[in-house]
Amino acid sequence: MKIAVVGSGYVGLVAAACFAELGHTVICVDNDEKKLAALQRGETPIHELYLPELLQKHRGDRLTFSGSVREAVEASSVIFIAVGTPPLEDGNADLSYVEGVAREIALSLNGYKVIVEKSTVPVYTSEWIRRVMRLTSPMNSEFDVVSNPEFLREGTAVTDFLYPDRIVIGADNECSRTALKEVYGGLIDGSYYARQDRVPEPVSKSSAKLIVTSAKSAELIKHASNAFLAMKISFINAVANVCEGVQADIEEVRAGIGADSRIGSAFLSAGIGYGGSCFPKDVAAFRAVAEQSGYAFPLLNEVIHINGEQRKRFIRKVRGTLWTLKGKRLGVLGLAFKGGTDDVRESPAIEIVKTLLAEQCSIRAYDPAAMPRAQELLNGSISCAEDPYEAAEGADALLILTDWEDFAQLDLRRIRQLLRYPIVIDGRNLYSCDVMARNGLMYVSMGRPTGQPASSAAAAGMLAAK
């Protein structure tokens, strides 16, 4: 099929590359001239596994980039809207970009088109898109509007797209349903998974589960899904706080809870809370939608409150461990909101770093991918390390703020030698207390008793016996 994707952010660029991977001819549109030029030069603007390979594979062939919505619409039969919907001060999503694109599409129609809202939007957005287009397009223009929410995790967005748990198509007539089924045909019938040149699957996979709904239901599915996942994170963080009060271990409690098949272990990791461009925005937007529909949804208020409180608790841990913060030199591992991405939007790590800087700490930080974006956001107020060990050297404590896999595999004896005080404060619970103690480190984590370093003689004996 011939597809246009308007917007080249995380969702739009990944979708465009993956549609090309499925065999479609794709035009990706953006009005940012610098980004467009970079994409046309072959650069990849975001850190995302397998995305550079897909762009290199399809750029200039199945995948092209353009600054013209009109040209893309005229050349395509299905148009995906994947522009930003940032939060407003009242929690509602800013839909002005969606409206602007809908108007441009309406003025460019040259035959029947299927317009697909791919951006994360509140319920009724498909109706508003349809209304705007009807009021803008020439008389007798033919089009349908479909909701097709994305369920992509930053860092694994490509494999999430090509190996999805489900594909949700919110369409109100058979013609548009058929078009979307054709778009995702290689995933629905499993033919993509038989290809030798496919992107490697994260797990054994056959075909994607197709869920066909009304447009309104599809719009609610996206917001409700993210709100539920955010709730799981806030719930386990609240349980972690109870664990600290009674000297229990949240990792042991988590294992017991997650073993229940009705609950599952995913999104049950205690830490400094969720962040990123999706959960904070989507929970607030879903709460706003609920209030507008006549339901206050108090549970979401508490989810948001607990998430914010986790960052404050972490700061209190740092202060309680170091006694005073003014003048302290801290090593920080991780600035992205989670491992696997360079996205620092709504990052708990960035918020914690800002608080520590306000307390007159000096910070040397390392992140495998997010350093440039973080430095821009922090106005160059931190120093950058080349690796985790340089961040730790001479520091009064080492703080782990992002769950990069590399940070869970450090040479702990080397870390102990580099630190001024043998203190690691872990906001992601990447280590066991016993391992840290054996390596001579005081270990402060979330929802667990503080681990004290073993005596040097005992530690040496345990390490020799290991």
Q: Do the beta carbons of residue 440 and residue 453 sit within 8 Å?
A: yes
Q: Which residue has the tokens 């508490």?
A: 302
Backbone φ and ψ for 30, nearest 5 degrees, come out as -150, 145
How many structural domains compose the chain? 2
Is 232 found in the same domain as 199? Answer: no
CATH number of the domain that 96 lies in?
Answer: 3.40.50.720
* pLDDT for the residue numbered 421: 96
Q: Select from 165, 197, 213 the last residue of a domain.
A: 213
Q: What is the pLDDT of residues 79-116, one digit of tens each?
A: 999 999 888 888 888 999 999 999 999 999 999 999 99
Q: Give me the DSSP letters along 51-70.
A: HHHHHHHHBTTTEEEES-HH
Local confidence band at 455 (pLDDT 50, 70, 90 cut-offs): low
The DSSP code for 204 is: -
What are the φ and ψ backbone dihedral angles of 351, each rounded to 5 degrees? Answer: -65, -40
Last residue within a domain, chosen from 186, 213, 240: 213
Dist CA 80 CA 117 (whole Å): 6
Domain boundary among 193, 213, 233: 213
114 and 158 share one domain = yes
Q: Tell me the average pLDDT across 305-313.
A: 96
Q: In the Cβ-directed half-sphere of 438, how many Cα atoms lie within 13 Å?
A: 12
As a whole number, mean pLDDT of residues 121-135 equals 93
Residues 154 and 13 in one domain: yes
Q: Work out the burial of residue 122: count CB atoms within 10 Å of its CB; fewer than 13 is exposed, 13-18 middle, 19 or more buried.
A: buried
The total number of residues shown for the chain amounts to 466
User: What integer pLDDT is reported at residue 465 of this predicted model?
Assistant: 44
Catalytic residues: 278
Phi, psi dihedrals of residue 330, rounded to the nearest 5°: -120, 135
**CB 401, CB 446: distance < 8 Å:** no
Listed in sequence order, the residues at least 6 apart from 439 whose beta carbon sits closer than 8 Å to its beta carbon are 412, 413, 415, 416, 453, 459, 463
Any idea which of 202-211, 302-311, 423-432 has the lowest mean pLDDT? 202-211
The answer to whether residues 341 and 246 belong to one domain is yes
Residues 203 and 225 grouped into a single domain? no
Q: What is the pLDDT of residues 360-388, one digit of tens each?
A: 999 999 999 999 999 999 998 999 999 99
Residue with tokens 């696997």: 340
Beta carbons within 8 Å of 167's beta carbon, 6+ residues apart: 148, 184, 187, 188, 208, 209, 210, 211
Facing residues of 426 across strands?
400
In whole angstroms, what separates CA 190 from the centre of its chain? 27
The pLDDT of 227-249, averaged and rounded, is 97
Domain that holds residue 300: 220-466
Whether residue 229 is found in the same domain as residue 358: yes
pLDDT of 254 above 50: yes
Judge if 155 and 190 occupy the same domain.
Answer: yes
Return the H-helix or E-strand segment holding 178.
helix 174-183
pLDDT at 119: 87
Indicate the average pLDDT of the chain: 94
At 18-33, the pLDDT tens digits run 999 999 999 999 999 9
Tell me what pLDDT residue 329 has. Answer: 97
What element of type H or E holds 186? helix 185-188
* Shared domain check, 289 and 259: yes
Contact 383, 316 (CB under 8 A): no
Whole-number Å distance between alpha carbons of 210 and 148: 11
CB 298 within 8 A of CB 262: no
The alpha-helical segments, DSSP class H, found in 323-439 are 348-358, 371-377, 388-392, 412-418, 433-438
Q: Which two tokens stand for residue 140?
A: 């007798």
User: What pLDDT band is residue 138 in, cutting at 50, 70 and 90?
Assistant: confident
Residue 157, burial from CB neighbour count under 10 angstroms (0-12, 13-18, 19+): buried
Does one domain contain both 194 and 232?
Answer: no
177 shares its domain with 268 = no
What is the rounded distance in angstroms from the CA atom of residue 166 to the CA atom of residue 152?
A: 11
Token pair listed for 107: 């003025």
pLDDT tens, residue by residue, 177-190:
999 999 999 999 99
**367 and 420, same domain (yes or no):** yes
- In 3-state terms, what secondary structure has residue 370? coil
- pLDDT the model gives residue 457: 38
DSSP-derived letter for residue 358 is: H
Looking at the predicted structure, is the pLDDT value of residue 299 above 50?
yes
d(CA 81, CA 8): 10
Query: In sequence order, what are the beta bridge partners of 115?
Result: 79, 145
Side by side, which strands form the sheet with 423-426? 383-384, 362-366, 329-333, 397-400, 423-426, 442-444
- Coil, helix or strand for 414? helix
Lowest mean pLDDT among 60-69, 110-119, 203-212, 425-434: 203-212
197 and 241 in a single domain? The answer is no
Does position 466 have pLDDT exceeding 80, yes or no? no
The phi-psi region of residue 200 (left if phi > 0; otherwise alpha if psi is between -120 and 50; otherwise beta) is beta
Is the pLDDT assigned to residue 463 strictly greater than 60? no
